């Protein structure tokens, strides 16, 4: 006896495509303009110092002040992680904090280069590992900051790429994101189970193999009994849809896994870089600014 099951229709609400567009934020332009103005002012001060000072360097103002500004900006950009993961009661949208994190992070590198007068980048390059630990790990702090910001920009691009993958899959599979896909796949599996009720072991095995192979392998009806072949033809669209949606679910999970893996890795790198930068910044403040610790000879 054949079982006829009406396939549920998935209705998309009006304007569903808009769900996959990133919300716009004016904070992007606010932090870009603010960061540009801050860097432009410090850059003009930097060139003025080059013209008026005989030996401008990181231990003399204003280049020393640039280092303090860069360290403060590092701490400010780190507050994005606090807002996103720990202190969610802070005002403002997470996206606005992300733009602050991005633009201030970029100019922090540029200001740090001004502080060091482009040492280790355009001249006086490191030729051994000992230069990395000189002046309270100054070169290590600079390289850690550069690596952190560049890797963060790469991660931001990777995040947007994988988010588009998820959005494209959700927009094209006719069902949506992971949770909706999982519910739809369960419904299809139940439909196949109802088709298999009362059938032979060969029919049930063929359905199970088709589900496990995600629609890639569908057995021929020749091995089935004659009275089961009609039901086997009816269950084919359900098996094929199950396989198609399973592939879409896998692609979404893989994209989400890439995003989560990168964010975890970036947090580890950020913590290590912050430790190195903080060590250099705090020791310089205690030694050359506050004069709490005697400067080594």
Give the closest residue to 69 by CA, choosing from 122, 109, 117, 30.
Answer: 109
From 137-141, 180-184, 224-228, the region with the lowest mean pLDDT:
224-228
Reported in sequence order, the residue ranges of 167-273 that DSSP labels E, i.e. its strands, are: none
pLDDT above 90 for 74: yes
Token output for 140: 């290590």
Percent of the chain surpassing pLDDT 90: 52
Mean pLDDT of the chain: 86
Q: What pLDDT does 222 receive?
A: 67
pLDDT (0 to 100) of residue 23? 58
pLDDT per position as a tens digit, 152-198 = 999 999 999 999 999 999 999 989 999 999 999 999 999 999 988 88
Taking phi over 0 as left and psi of -120 to 50 as alpha, with beta for the rest, 120 belongs to left
Question: Where is pLDDT greater, at 187 or 293?
Answer: 187
Domain boundaries, the chain: 26-124+132-155+267-289
Question: Is it the case that residue 14 has pLDDT exceeding 60?
Answer: no
Percent of the chain's residues with pLDDT above 70: 88
Spatial contact of 101 and 148, defined as CB atoms under 8 Å apart: no
The pTM of this model reads 0.78
pLDDT(258) > 90? yes
Query: What does the pLDDT read at residue 220?
Result: 65
Has residue 21 got a pLDDT over 70?
Answer: no
- Nearest alpha-carbon partner for 241 in 179, 174, 195, 196: 174
Does residue 25 have a pLDDT over 90?
no
Question: Which of 188-202, 215-229, 278-292 has the lowest average pLDDT?
Answer: 215-229
Q: CA 209 to CA 215: how far, in whole Å?
A: 9
> Is the pLDDT assigned to residue 11 strictly greater than 90?
no
pLDDT in the model for residue 200: 87
Checking if the pLDDT of 237 tops 80, the result is yes
Q: Kindly indicate the confidence band of residue 115, based on its pLDDT and cuts at 50, 70 and 90.
A: very high
> In the structure encoding, which two tokens stand for residue 108, read together?
């922090």
pLDDT at 249 over 50: yes
């Amino acid at each position: 006896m054949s079982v006829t099951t009406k396939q549920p229709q998935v209705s998309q609400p009006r304007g569903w495509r808009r769900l996959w567009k990133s919300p716009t934020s004016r904070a992007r332009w606010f932090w870009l303009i603010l960061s540009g103005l801050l860097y432009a002012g410090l850059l003009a001060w930097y060139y003025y110092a080059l013209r008026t000072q005989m030996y401008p360097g990181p231990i003399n103002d204003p280049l020393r002040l640039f280092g303090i500004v860069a360290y403060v900006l590092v701490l400010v950009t780190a507050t994005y992680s606090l807002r996103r993961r720990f202190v969610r009661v802070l005002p403002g949208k997470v996206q606005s904090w992300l733009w602050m994190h991005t633009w201030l992070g970029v100019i922090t590198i540029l200001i740090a280069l001004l502080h060091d007068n482009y040492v280790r980048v355009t001249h006086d390059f490191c030729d051994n590992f000992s230069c990395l630990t000189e002046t309270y790990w100054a070169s290590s702090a600079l390289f850690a900051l550069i690596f952190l910001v560049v890797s963060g920009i790469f991660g931001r691009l990777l995040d947007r790429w994988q988010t588009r993958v998820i959005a494209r899959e959700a927009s094209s599979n006719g069902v949506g994101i992971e949770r909706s896909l999982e519910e739809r796949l369960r419904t299809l599996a139940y439909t196949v189970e109802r088709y298999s009720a009362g059938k032979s072991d060969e029919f049930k095995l063929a359905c199970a193999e088709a589900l496990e192979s995600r629609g890639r392998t569908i057995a021929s009806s020749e091995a089935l009994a004659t009275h089961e072949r009609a039901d086997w033809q009816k269950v084919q669209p359900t098996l094929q849809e199950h396989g198609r949606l399973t592939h879409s679910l896998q692609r979404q999970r893989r994209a989400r896994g890439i995003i989560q893996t990168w964010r975890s890795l970036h947090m580890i790198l950020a913590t290590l870089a912050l430790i190195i930068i903080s060590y250099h910044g705090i020791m310089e403040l205690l030694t050359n600014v506050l004069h709490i610790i005697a400067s080594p000879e």
